[in-house]
Every structure is written in structure tokens, then in C-alpha cells.
Amino acid sequence: FVGKNGEGKSTLIKAIMNEIDYQGKLTIGHNVMIGYFAQNQASLLDEETTVFQTIDDVAKGDIRTKIKDILGAFMFSGDSWNKKVKVLSGGERTRLAMIKLLLEPVNLLILDEPTNHLDLKTKEILKNALMDYDGTLILVSHDRDFLNGLVSKVYEFGHKRVKEHLSGIQEFLEKKKLEHLKELERKG
């Protein structure tokens, strides 16, 4: 989902997640299990658990034997495994919340501005993890580099409408004669 702020991207996500009242009908497919990464997701972690405990609590089956590898892939070294969540930086909390979400048994991931507060290395790690994800992704983002190569459809929100574009973000921007998604804010 792309578009100017205030055009309804996050509102639609909140409707899908049944977090707000809305008019009309919204039907979620049969057997759809949703994982949701809100803009404040990192603040929802249990502050008193450790990094390792946070992931161990959601890991199931064979994944449990790979927790240390997964934490390492998201730049958590052995030194940080026993840190409590409350002492982590914002970026570390976001990475931890993302690992937790990616380990949930879901087939639809909804990510609302997942790259906010992430450094370039963490964005790359997240993008690679999402490229390996087998389910459906709904992403709200202004980050062209993050979306490039990750999305195959773009839903443009604007003027109280949603327009589907059957292309990646690069093709969408070329068609719109834009260099960056932030230019949608000015063009509206």
C-alpha cells in the first residue's frame, strides 16, 4: 500500500485486523491466519523477558533448535541473548518483534511501516526474510528501496480511492514519473 498520509492505508489495515468499526463488508478468506506488525509493535514486547525467552516462547518444533541461528541472522549475538527487552534499543526491539512475528504460524503478514527506525543492515535482513516468506504480504511503506524486488502489486491510495497496479514498485514509480514514494505526498 502506498499513498499520502491520511488516505486510509493504516485504516484499512485496522479494519482487516478488526481494530476499528467500519461500514460495509470485509471478508477474510477461509483458513487465513494473520500476523500483524503495527507501527508500535516493538513497544508491545514483554519488557521483563530476555531476547532468547521472547523467541523461545513462540518457536515450535524444529525451529526451536535454530533459535540461536535465527537470532544471529537478525544481529543478536550470544552476548545479547540474555538481555532483558527493556534495555534494548528501538532498532533491537523492532528486530526482535519481527523475528517473533515471522515465527508465528501465519499465512498473511501485514506490516505497517516495518522499516521505521531500522538501519540499512537491518532493513536488508528483514527484506531477505520476507523474500523467503511463503505466504501473502501486505506492506504499508514509503521506503522504495525496501519495496523494490519485494512486491509484485502496488495499491495506490489517493483521492478517496484505491487503484491496483500490477507491477513492482520501480515500474509504478516510472509510470507515475516519480523518483521516490515521498513525491506522492507532494503530487496528490
Q: What is the pLDDT of residues 73-100, one digit of tens each?
A: 899 988 899 999 999 988 888 889 999 9
Is 187 strand, coil or helix? helix
Q: How far apart are CA 78 and CA 164, in angstroms?
A: 44
pLDDT of residue 183: 67
pLDDT of residue 188: 54
Mean pLDDT of the chain: 88
* Strand boundaries in 45-132, DSSP class E: 108-112
Q: Count CB-CB contacts under 10 A for residue 55.
A: 24
CATH number (3.40.50.300, 3.40.50.261, 3.30.43.10, 1.10.10.10) of 2-22+30-187 reads 3.40.50.300
pLDDT of residue 33: 95
Whether the pTM exceeds 0.95: the reply is no
Per-domain residue ranges of the chain: 2-22+30-187
* C-alpha cell at position 148: 523494490
pLDDT of residue 34: 95
Taking only the tens place, the pLDDT of each residue in 18-48 is 999 999 999 999 999 999 988 777 778 999 9
Taking only the tens place, the pLDDT of each residue in 161-188 is 999 999 999 898 888 887 767 666 666 5
The mean per-residue pLDDT over the stretch 127-150 comes to 90
